[in-house]
Structures are given as C-alpha cells and as structure tokens.
Chain A
Amino acid sequence: MATKEIIRLENIRRNFIVGNETVHALRGVSFTINAGEFVTIMGTSGSGKSTLLNILGCLDTPTSGEYYLDGIPVRSMGKNERSVLRNRKIGFVFQSYNLLPKTTALENVELPLMYNSAISARERHELASRALDAVGLAERKNHKSNQMSGGQQQRVAIARALVNDPVIILADEATGNLDTRTSFEILVLFQELHDRGRTIIFVTHNPELSAYSSRNIVLRDGKIISDTPNDHPASALEMLKKLPVESD
C-alpha cells in the first residue's frame, strides 16, 4: 500500500498566557502520520495531549510551527475555513460523548452533514444509517441518546465521527468514562475501523492501551519523549474474550 502523508507537524509550539506567566503547553513537536496508521498518544495529565489534539483537529492554532493536514497548511487559515476543514476532513470522538439530548442516534450522526449543504437530506440519512451499521448499532438507530448506555453512546459518537468520511479520526480519552469491558469493546471497534483502512489518533493516559495500536507517541511536558512503531498490535478482541463477564 502506497503510504500517503496525512499529517505533518513541524516544530509546533503552543503557549498560553495566564496572567503574566506563559505556559508552554507544547514545546516543539514534530512528526508525520501516514494514511492507515493507528497512533496512540500518551502522557501524564498536563503533558499537552489535549492541546496537541486540538491543534491536530484544527480547533486551535499553534503559536509557532507549521501544520499540514492532507497537504493543506492550517496555520494561515481563518476561523471559518478551519470550520469547513473540520467538517470535511476530521472526525472527533470525545471522552464525554457529547451527543445531543432527546435526539435519536440517527439524528445525532447526521449532525455533521447538516453543516454541509452539498449533501441532500436523502444522502444524509443514507450515510448516517451506514455509519451506525458500521459501529454495530443497526438496531438502535431511532433510540434517543439519553436512553442508551455509555458504551452505546460512545458508539454513536464514533459513528458521528465516521459519517463525513474523514481523513483522520481524533479521539481524546474516548474510553475514559467507560468500564474495562466496555472500553475494550470500543477498542475492538477502533481496531476494526483501522483494519478497514481508517487513520486514527487515540489520546489516552492509560499506558496499557499502547499495545493495541500500530504506533505509540509519548509526551512529557510538551515534548515527544518516545515515538515507537508497533508492528504486531495485540488484538483487543482476544483480550475482550479473556475478560470475565460481569454478572451482577
């Protein structure tokens, strides 16, 4: 498979001014990510993971350094351009799902496409329906978000991240709110998506999860301290089978 470069970071720095102090959240981060990689980003709390992910997700702009997403330089872009870029090229998964309340799974998944006027209502239904099939929620399309379990809600959120066929899926502590078993179910889903060719960046502070990705980047104090490929990721599915089934 010809490897296509999706993300290129060149000496990214991000400073926050708090009062009269400057917080250096990122102090010169550089790496490239190719299509089809499943990258975990680890580090202790406050190491700059979320700041990095916000920059990767075009929600934030670096203080200095260059960022190319799918070949497009992001640093020089305006707010609106970045919004459109997020809408077309990025899928977000958050720790706390962030689904709209009192809204069905299908409508939640349709949401990103509502902001893309090139897509008709019929296409929107079709794509959202397929994304829900892909995360194993074919039967629950019309359930309201508040009637679902945490694991199901996160699946809906993943379907929402998939629906616009993004070049990259960004997950920030996507399993942070879930119990071990459900976490592994979600991890299985990410591995499936990866097997189907999706590019994923998965931020977590849980070091155990690095075994399941194809590459692991570790941050400390805003710098990369290790960047190691993993040629033989463990199967999350195997692990899930070994987990005791909770019965209470």
Chain B
Amino acid sequence: MNLTNLTKIALKALNNNKMRCFLTMLGIIIGVASVITMLAIGQGSKRSIRAQIAEMGSNMIMIHPGNMERGGVRQDASSMQTLKLNDYQDILDGTEYVSACSPSVSSSGQFIYGANNYPSTIYGVTEDYLEIRKFSIDEGSMFTPQDVLTSAKVCLVGQTIIDNLFPNGENPIGKVIRFNKIPLKIVGTLTPKGYNSMGMDQDDMVLAPYTTVQKRVLAITYLQGIFCSALTEELTPQAINEITQILRKNHKIKEGEDDDFEIRSQEEMSSMMSSTTDMMTILLACIAGISLLVGGIGIMNIMYVSVTERTREIGLRMSIGARGIDILAQFLIEAVLISVTGGIIGVLLGVGASMVVNLVFNWPVYIQAYSVILSFFVCTITGIFFGWYPARKAANLDPIEAIRYE
C-alpha cells in the first residue's frame, strides 16, 4: 500500500465534490469551534476567579468564634468571646505552617475630617495583616509594633476613605481624622485594590493597631477574629490542623465535642469555586461534544452516500488492481481529511469566536493548548470511527457486481 498515492486519490475525490465536502465539514467545524469557545470561556472565568482569590491572599486563613449552643440557645457569633489574645499568641509561637498572624477586631462608624464625613469600618490588626491580605503601602508607612504596644492613635486609610474625606486632593499623611470622637493620625495610605470578586470595595477601610480598637473604640478584651497566612496555599490544610489543635487545647474542648470556633480558608473557597467552574466547563464541553458527534454522523451519512454513488468507480479500481485495503484506506483517508480539515477550520473559528467574546462581552477567555490538541485528536477519531463502516462496505464490494452497477 502506498499512502502517498492513496492520499492523492482521496484528495482528488474530495476535490471533485467540493460543495458536498464543505457541507459535511460544517458539522465538524461547528462542533470543534463550539468546543474551543466553550472551553475558552469556562477556563477564562475559572482563571479570573482564581486570580481574584489570589489577590486577596490565596493562603489566607480566617478564624472566627463558632456557633455555640448554651442551654439550647444559639449564640450570635459576633457576641461570642471565646477567642482571646493568648490564642493569637499561641498560634504565633506554636505553629510551623503559619507564616503570618494578626488578631482582628473591627467597628463600623462615621469618620470625620473637617466638614467631610464618611461611614466605614475600622479594622484593628497588627503589621502582619498587610502580608495576609496582600495589601501594600502606597504612601507613608505602616504603624509600628511600638504603636501596637502603646495603643497609639494612628491609622492607615484606603483610597475610598481618602476620596471621601479629602475630596480636594490634599495629602492625607499626617492629617488627623476622627472616629467615635477619637482622633487618629494618618501615618500611611493603602495601595488601591478595587472591588473583589464578591463585589466588595477593598479600599473602603481604615487599619489601626488592634489594641487601639480594642481599648479605645470597643472597650473589649477578646478578639473578634484571627487572620493567618499558611506558608503556601497547598500547606493550608496543615496550618488549619495546627491551629485547630492549639485552639481546642486552649479552649479545653474534649474529644468528641464540637469546636467553638470556625476556620475558613481561601483555599477551601478557591477549590469550591474551581469545582463549580469545572462543572460548568464539563457541561459546556459535553454540549459541544454532542455537536461533534452529530458532525461525525454527518460524515458517516455522506460517506455511505458516496460509496453507493461511486460503486462503479470502486469496481473499476478493484479490477485494475486495488486491493480491499486500498479501497478501505482511500475512504478512511477521505473521511479523516474531511474531519481534520473541518477540525482545523473549527479551531481557527473557535479561537476567533473566543476573541470576539472577549472583546465584545468583555468576558475573560483562556484557550488551552490541550483543548486544541484534544479537538484534533477527537476529529481524527471521529473521521476514522464514522468513516470505518462506509469504507468497509466499499472494501467488501464484489468487483464484478460493482462495475456493472447502474
């Protein structure tokens, strides 16, 4: 068997029937283009969600007092006082997988500067908070450990606060703003981060030493939450494990009893998000795959028609020396050429459509090399699979009868 010659023969046959060829390809083209586009959209949204989560600190761990029943009455988490400063200290000292840790207490209220006021939230934290939340200082500097020790009346402000309290473009550094009648001196500003994936304005906040918020604002001694960073996103479960051990020991929780705290991590959230988008992607890919199947059936249909139509040609080829396998190969090559050419056009169309979706609807898209390779692979398989029966039918024709066929 000479594959070059058989390919030439197949090409010639396809060339003689360009229009039909193209129409047969159309099914494959649409199938592949939709596979590529759907996967691009699916992967694009997955990536953009992941990127946003990473921006918020993908290794972040949040500890809050958990729901707890006291005499059958459920307690509101914010009123619970189970997290103490020593919990924070022990996490800081007793863990291997935690790279940064900050207590968290917060209070909402009106911030006032001169004639301007704006409602926002003040977060009482330590310097580690910047690393945990992936914040950075735009101008000025972070408050110091000394400020934390002395409950200094200092703060950092986000862009939204600046925009509202200093609408005339004054430099906020060194200015004193008031919260609950407490004067706070601005020592630094936070680099703007914009809105997160949940639609929250990440610049609408004021950071101060937690001691300041605890003593001067809230007058409490417990913590509302603790924020930590695992060494890496992958080490989050280990870090959570360590923290759980420490807190259960500190809170004297017996084996078998429920935690009185709740640990949430970004890793958990991101894997939840991923699994949702993965489901979406699989669903989209299935729909697209079905259209590819329909395209394949189209090929089979046309190949059957073609074999019947060309019965005499097949008889002639056999009588001048084509073996069954030569005929089989010719028709298989025809089917594969149709499906692979359709695949190539489909990939180009799919990439184009993805770009259009990106430009027109502003949806994030991402074309993975594997989806292109997979499409080609599936196309070839489709061609062979759906071309096989018609080709075998052709190869099994009796030359004597075939050549007399009217």
Q: Give chain A's interface residues, CB within 8 Å of chain B.
A: 54, 57, 59-60, 79-80, 83-84, 86-88, 92, 94, 98, 100-103, 107, 111-112, 114-117, 160, 164
Contact = CB atoms under 8 A, between A and B. Distances in A.
B72 interface: no
Contacts of B1: 117
Given A112-B321, A164-B321, 11 more contacts: A59-B319, A80-B325, A86-B319, A87-B322, A98-B312, A98-B403, A114-B5, A114-B9, A117-B2, A117-B5, A160-B320
Contacts of A83: 318, 321-324, 326
Contacts of B326: 83, 115
Contact of B320 (A86, A103, A107): A86
B324 A80 contact: yes
Interface in B359-406: 399-400, 403
A114 B8 contact: yes
Given A98-B403, A103-B12, A112 B324 contact: no
Contacts of A59: 318-319, 399-400
Interface string B1-23: 11001001100100010000000
A54 B8 contact: no
Contacts of B318: 59, 83
B307 to A, nearest CB: 15
Nearest to A80: B323
A88 B312 contact: no
B400 A60 contact: yes
A84 B16 contact: no
From A79, A83, A98, A116, residue with most partner B Cβ within 10 Å: A83
Nearest to A51: B400
Interface of B: 1-2, 5, 8-9, 12, 16, 312-313, 315-326, 399-400, 403
A80 B322 CA distance: 9
Nearest to A83: B323
A210 to B, nearest CB: 25
A115 B319 contact: no
Contacts of A112: 320-321
Contacts of A116: 321
Given A59-B400, A60-B400, A117-B1, A100 B319 contact: no
B12 A115 contact: no
B360 to A, nearest CB: 43
B403 A94 contact: yes
Contacts of A115: 2, 5, 317, 320-323, 326
A107 B322 CA distance: 16
Contacts of B403: 94, 98
Nearest to A89: B321
Contacts of B324: 79-80, 83
Contacts of B313: 98, 100
B400 A88 contact: no
B321 A88 contact: yes
A168 to B, nearest CB: 14
A101 B322 contact: no
Contacts of A102: 16
A215 B1 CA distance: 39
B256 to A, nearest CB: 77
Contacts of B321: 83-84, 86-88, 112, 115-116, 164
